[in-house]
Amino acid sequence: MSLPAVIGLAWAGAAVAMAAGWLWQRRRANAGIVDVIWAAGVGGSALLYALLVDAAAWPRATLALLGGLWGLRLAWHLWLRVRNEDEDGRYRHLRTHWQGHQGAFFLFFQAQALLVVVFSLPFLAVARNPVDGFTGWWLAAVAVWLASVAGEGIADRQLARFRADPANRGRTCRAGLWRYSRHPNYFFEWTHWFTYVLLAVGSPIAWLAWAGPLVMYAFLRWISGVPYTEAQALRTRGEDYRHYQRTTPMLIPWFPRDAVPDDPLQTVTADSPDSPDASRKDPE
């Protein structure tokens, strides 16, 4: 099957799934399902391209396994949140902004179907790779995938534990990886996309694999990731989150900075939940 036909099939499947998701959110007033469908759609596109694009078997099998497992893990994690929690604050904000207009939500869902295609482009580069068998690039790709997916999974679990404790309502998670980055889940999600850059080495369209980390960084840093998440955090956590912003790196993990001298939250006691020695359960 030609590449345009395969891409068109991926888009059609995503568009139908997003239309079903729009109907689901209309009945339940929870637009968080769009994230579940996006993750499943991108992961599903890895399987689709591995099956339908004609090139070496080894990179296609690797793509199906790594891309499929990544999408399955992320979609399941997001589904548990959608199923068990109220609508995410970002989508409640959109619902208020659009005054519940379902036409706006439908267009939003269909825009996410297009983004499924955009984020599937690195998979095409891998699927077209004629280099078969084990290589140093393949081993490096698997190492990056393992580290990134494990890191994102750890960050997600730490955040889920924190959110599950009612005592943490209105407060900011600073436990585990969240001590070193305000968005460690986003960081590992971003580094995960370098997997396909490495797997695509030798492909005639290897350059296309760079769409993954470049586009993902742009979305996380400036469009739909950090800006929306932090705006919601400031609305719900106020000064606690401002303190977190002043002391903790935004994306790339590093050691936290000292609080500024006039910071009203800089002093904590050993018994305070904000103390480094305090026992915490782990979101944002």
**Domains of the chain by residue range:** 1-130, 134-284
Tokens of 147: 């580290």
> What is residue 271's predicted lDDT score, i.e. its pLDDT?
31
Q: What span, in angstroms and rounded, lies between the C-alpha atoms of 221 and 250?
A: 9
Residue-level pLDDT at 260: 57
144 compared with 170, residue with greater pLDDT: 144
What confidence category does residue 77 fall into, taking pLDDT thresholds of 50, 70 and 90?
A: very high
Q: How large is the average pLDDT for residues 41-69?
A: 96
Residue 152's closest CA among 193, 106, 112, 99? 193
What DSSP designation does 274 have? Answer: T
Enclosing H/E stretch for 211 = helix 211-218
Predicted local distance difference test score (pLDDT) of residue 266 = 42
Residues in the chain: 284
Nearest CA to 186 out of 211, 223, 161 is that of 223
CB 175 within 8 A of CB 158: yes
Q: What is the mean pLDDT of the chain?
A: 90
**d(Cα 80, Cα 156) in Å, to the nearest integer?**
12
For 165-207, where are the alpha helices, taking DSSP H only? 184-192, 194-199
Contacts of 81 (CB under 8 A, 6+ apart): 32, 88, 160
pLDDT at 258: 79
Global pTM value: 0.86
Kindly tell me if the per-residue pLDDT of 265 is higher than 80: no
Residue that is written with structure tokens 């568009």 in the block: 15
Q: Is the pLDDT of residue 13 over 80?
A: yes
What is the share, in percent, of the chain residues with pLDDT greater than 70?
91
The pLDDT, as a whole number, for residue 279 is 32
pLDDT band at 263 (very low <50, low <70, confident <90, very high): low
More reliable by pLDDT, 118 or 133: 118
Q: Average pLDDT for residues 58-64, to the nearest whole number? A: 97
Nearest to 189 by CA among 225, 138, 231, 140: 225
Instruction: Over range 55-76, report the average pLDDT.
Output: 96
Higher pLDDT, 42 or 265: 42
pLDDT, tens digit, 9 for 90 and up, residues 192-229: 999 999 999 999 999 999 999 999 999 999 988 899 89
